[in-house]
Structure 1
């Protein structure tokens, strides 16, 4: 496809951009600001001035927009709609727009006589610029100029512009790439060289083709991963000795050493003094030294581009991974390799299981609108996941209408248990307030202990989660919330850490000993209580009743329990067991609250 060159009144007021293919369906808005292609230097160009429509055979249709204040001139006349071909131009205000063909990569110059010179990039870093003031001034503007580009297309436009401005003797600049070899063995057998793609090209010439790109130089640069210079030693009378143009005596190519720019290089070509053959020969001999500053500057530009694209690549990758990994996992991945971060390993974890209450009932009622039910469930689960992530936890898994989160991996968290209880408190508060939970309630279990966390699974499916008895315990505690009639239950390990934490302000009480399903030993359970429920005196009364209950003094326990509000389900659970056995502990009783 051809390029469109915009040239304003000043030499720096310019850009060159590739016109989209006519088959792409893309149309371009030309304007001063806020358009697809902006001409910020020309006040006579309206905010949205013209529409550019690519046509077949490298033609371009131009339509003046109704909102444009000033005329568009084509072939000396005002026109509202016309077609330009390569070599043709139109004018808006003080800016001339010229459609030109983009030169390709030339193989013909490969066979001509040339001298090759390699620059060591480590040695270039040690050398000082001869004209340090002007170089430093441009380098100071380089980061903002390049990093403010919002797309790769804009980045390449700015890079070629910077290099043309910074290299006075350059006649053309290109950003090029060597195509990947899909089948290196077949490539070697057929002796086919990889194709050269010109990602962007700019030259000082307007209205005619500039120098082509030497494919041989580009391939040599990418292969050796060093900046290379080619000097053509023939006479200008024989244009075949140059890069298909009498304006090029030399060309250098600088590789971009980054995975984000694999196979990319910056190509700069230009001319030398040619007053006489002897002068040209001397210039050719001195060229490697004379061009050293230009190569060094181009190396710095290449490094800036590489770092920027690498940074953007990581940002895109993190953005994509954000749907799969918690922020704390992404933080670890930013400084360590994925294999190291995600490898399964033992860690001290606090695990939270949160289950929806009322799911079965709503499933039955909503059977005629399953998509609506799915939306409500997704919103309700979203409340869980949001608070787990906000408290710097990891979403371990979803189990139908339940979610599992954990703390303490991939980075150690001394306050993992506190964070887990904080997340549970926030989830419970949102569910009680009815905040985007679709009419559901919740039950939450939290356990702390040793587990394996990381990338766990089979050869067929892998996910990041946690595994071990503590995970099973958290799930069993969540199920026990139904029996106790409470919303959040903690195990003893979590309770011990949270109650001893100076940053903890949670209201906790012991519920008694229980043997969770699948476990053989009884363990104490604790409730994360709601503020404003039982008074401190009532909680103290319940705890005393629980101690008498476990001591077998059931009559004393019953007397205290009957004084507590009937809405307190844990108290009612103890009363129910006492009355079941007529106030006397059975001989086989092992002091558990729930049989």
Structure 2
């Protein structure tokens, strides 16, 4: 395919990009920023300036974008729409865009036809990369400008393709004797001599010259040795001047620089060119080719190392981004600061555990039985409310159970404020459900105690979760919330932590002493009350005081007085009605309420 070359006022203001095939139906926009192809160096170019429409005959149609401020010049005239043929160009501001003739440099056949495959008439120089880095540039002044701009130039690339474009452009403009620069991917070439070599990006100095041949043998040798290798073909070195074998008229040498990171596995930089003007030593003796090209090879090594490091960093960022779907931010921070296996290893910790269940799910399932996909979407949004606030208050998502989720605090790093963080998350979840139009409410159980947390499971499947009695208790408390008509229920340890903190924004009400199913010891439970309305009423401080007074009578065994006190409280209050029913049923002696599953 043909390429479009952009050239600005400075040598390094340049890129070369491949025009997509017309059959793809893909148009491209050129602009200064946020376009398909950006020209960041020219302020005369608008954010979106021209649209490129590839044609079947290798030409491209150019259309000025209506919002573009400055004119587009084609053949010396202001033009809004025109067709560009190979070798033709147009100008915007101080940047010239040239349509280069189609090249075959990306063709696998061309790679196989490269010169020097049998090693005839070739001088090979291997550069040890450690020694190369220690050796100074012979002419550092010619490199210093590019070297100072190199980190920002590469790091500001917003995509892998943009990175390749910038690197090839930098290498071509900073290597005076280079005719062409390619970045290749040949990971399988070491084991399979016939494996394909992929050209990730290519650039040369000519808008008409075809792609330079690539020596498979040179690429293979460089990858095997993991060192930069320079090949000089006959005619480029005096000891081979009698040989008729040359690579090509415009190519005297080629060197290959391997990139030594897993992020760029199998990638190499491949540069070809003509011999520079003969240089001499202080004694007047001509420098050999390897000495003349020493700075160029060293510079390519430096650029390659910078690019490989950036790719390694980007790969890590992508992995971390993918892991964020599985690990909470607090876990990600712990993983970033330590060994993964050690961080995720199961261990005992003081945890505050939350179980949060949707209320109204069964009713909605029956109502929306003919709209199951919409129901699934609504349930996902409702679960998203839970996970957002669990993660937002530095919790860890431990598991999902149908229409319920489990979160916990206190692992992988100890959290002094784990109880307050969990309580704050519970109130935030409650408040958002009351504000939203999702049609759901929630029931939440919070418990605090020792548990095992970490990567738990079988050798075939693992997950990060928590295990222990406190987890079971939290689940039981969530179930009790429905019976008591209280949306958030806490155990004694969680209540004690909130009271000890002295935080006034947490309103508490003792509910009862109960024995959850599966537990032998009774648990005193409390309600955490948020500012969100429960039904259409608010639980006031006076109501809490009156309820707890009635509860004290109940626990003291004076059931008649307790019943009288409870009956004086509002009938809309769920815990009050629960206690009235309990006393009337005669199932309790006034101290412990037995709760079946």
Q: Which bracket does the TM-score occupy, shorter chain normalised?
A: 0.7 to 0.9
Contact 2:12/2:170 (<8 A) preserved:
no
222-231 or 26-35, which deviates more: 26-35
Match of 1:19 in 2: 19
Q: Deviations over 1:203-231 (max 9, x none)?
A: 22342235433322222222222222223
Would you say the 8 A contact 1:29–1:51 is kept in 2?
Answer: yes
Which residue in 1 is equivalent to 2:302?
A: 300
Number of the residue aligned with 1:476: 476
Displacement after TM superposition at 1:200 (Å): 1.4
Partner of 1:522: 522
| TM-score under structure 2 length normalisation | 0.83
Residue 268 of structure 2 is matched in structure 1 by 265
Could you give the per-residue CA deviations for residues 312-346 of structure 1, whole angstroms, max 9, x where no partner exists?
A: 22333333333333222333444456555444444
C-alpha distance in 1 between matches for 2:154 and 2:115 = 34
Distance 1:571 1:288, change over 3 A: same
Q: In structure 1, what is the Cα distance between the partners aligned to 2:128 and 2:439? A: 69
Cα distance change on mapping 1:404 and 1:89 into 2, 3 Å: same
Instruction: Show structure 2 runs of 5+ residues with no match.
Output: none
Question: Offset at 1:178?
Answer: 0.8
> Counterpart of 1:60?
59
Distance change >3 Å, CA 430–CA 135, structure 1 → 2: same
Q: 1:54 to 1:308 in 2, by over 3 A?
A: farther
Distance 1:8 1:366, change over 3 A: closer
Residue 128 of structure 1 pairs with residue 128 of structure 2: no
| Equivalent residue runs for 1:227-376 within 5 Å | 227-234=228-235, 241-242=245-246, 244-273=247-276, 285=288, 287-336=289-338, 339-376=341-378
**Equivalent residue of 1:108, what SS?**
coil
Q: In 1, distance between residues paired with 2:545 and 2:51? A: 79
Task: Give how far 1:481 is off.
Answer: 0.9
Partner residue in 2 for 1:489: 489
1:225 maps to what in 2?
226
Give the count of matched residue pairs. Answer: 573
2-structure distance, mates of 1:366, 1:175: 56
Which residue pairs with 2:173 in the alignment?
A: 165
Moved more, 368-377 or 484-493: 368-377
The CA deviation at 1:9 is: 6.3
Quick check: 2:236–2:252 contact (8 Å CA) kept in 1? Answer: no
Equivalent of 2:158, from 150, 158, 166?
A: 150
Aligned-partner Cα distance in 1 for 2:137–2:211: 29
Change (3 A) 1:90 1:293: closer
Verify: 1:4 aligned to 2:9, yes or no: no
CA contact (8 A) 2:334 2:412 kept: yes
**Aligned: 1:108 with 2:108:** no
Q: Secondary structure at the match of 1:253?
A: strand
Return the alpha-carbon distance in structure 1 between the equivalents of residues 187 and 572 of structure 2.
Answer: 73
User: Structure 1 length as normaliser, TM-score?
Assistant: 0.84
> In the TM superposition, what whole-angstrom CA distance separates every residue of 1:120-179 from its partner, at most 9, and x where no partner exists?
333333333344444333222112222222222222121111112222222222211214
Contact 1:112 1:240 in 2 (8 A): no
Shift of residue 416, structure 1, vs aligned partner:
1.9
Name the SS of the counterpart of 2:433 in structure 1: helix
- Compute the RMSD of aligned alpha carbons: 3.7
Instruction: State how far apart, in whole Å, the 2-side matches of 1:357 and 1:232 are.
Output: 78
Q: Tell me if the contact between 2:49 and 2:65 (Cα under 8 Å) persists in the aligned partners.
A: no
Describe the shift of the 1:563–1:7 C-alpha distance in structure 2 as closer, same or farther (beyond 3 A): closer
Give distance in 2, aligned partners of 1:363 and 1:337: 45
1:195 aligns with 196
Q: Work out the CA distance in 2 between the residues paired with 1:78 and 1:358.
A: 64
Structure 2 distance, partners of 1:145, 1:15, is: 13
